[in-house]
Amino acid sequence: MWAEDPPPAKGPTRLYIKSGTLDTSKGVPLALHGVDALIAPGGDGKKMGGKLVQLRAGVVGLTYDSIAKLLNGKMKNSKVKDLKVSSDKGEIKINGKVQKIIPLPFEVKGPVSVTADGKLDLHASTEKAAKIPISGVADALGLTMQKMVGKGKHKGIEAEKQDVIFDPDELWGLPIHGQLTSARVGKNELLLTFGHPASRRRGTQTASNREH
């Protein structure tokens, strides 16, 4: 008796979302704008029904409250606490507290750009501790970016000199992957554009008056 040929393998499903919202594994909402994605088996079986999502193109918007929730979740075992994120004249500003003898408030502010390997780079052009510029006392207080973040301790976040690098694939805790090509600091949200690496525009993406 001849065996029947196996059914042809089902290819990935293409999905286009003109506008919508997706919650991260921690319940943090992400706004989707014109997202073109491919969905295929291969993800974590406990998340999204075992599906793997590849972002081909589109924009993902994160409110600053959402970013703060994601970062606080990632840094929960760190000396850094109570992170708050906002925008200030086209730059990202992060306020928080670092645990020394007493909790010491700090502020980091700077432009964002995209690295060559598609990660989000916050360059800390302004750093303050208790409203005083850090540069002269950073080593004495242990407030260098590496010491605050803790190199290698937080999946998806690392610090290099005056830069904090975020891996967008890791931050939302879902089997979603894409090539980040640009980032723009808006008044109410950070807009991350995904697409082909050739479309990447290097440098800081500033805010405009028009929001998605």
Would you state the pLDDT for residue 139?
47
- Which residues of the chain are under the pLDDT cut of 70? 1-10, 42-49, 77-78, 130-154, 197-212
Residues 6+ apart with CB under 8 A from 194: 35, 55, 56, 57, 58, 59, 60, 178, 179, 180, 181
Q: Kindly state the greatest CA–CA separation across the chain.
A: 83
CA distances from 165 to 78, 114, 120, 149, 154 (A): 16, 9, 6, 10, 11
- 6-15 pLDDT, tens digit per residue, is 555 567 888 8
Q: The tokens of 123 are what? A: 């360059």
Residue 204 has a pLDDT of 40
Phi-psi category of residue 130: left, alpha or beta, with phi > 0 → left and psi -120 to 50 → alpha: left
Quote the pLDDT of residue 46.
Answer: 60
For 98-134, what is each residue's pLDDT tens digit? 777 777 888 888 999 999 999 999 888 877 776 656 5
Give residue 19's pLDDT: 93
Degrees (nearest 5) of the Cα angle 106, 111, 114? 120
**Which stretches within the chain are classed as H helix?**
64-74, 138-141, 145-149, 168-171
Contact 177, 170 (CB under 8 A): no
- Residue written as token pair 């507290």: 97
Q: What is the DSSP letter of 118?
A: S
Nearest alpha-carbon partner for 169 in 84, 44, 78: 44
Structure confidence at residue 180 (pLDDT):
94
d(CA 11, CA 166): 31
Cα distances from 54 to residues 15, 86, 124, 188, 197, in angstroms, run 10, 29, 31, 26, 14
Instruction: Tell me what pLDDT residue 35 has.
Output: 93
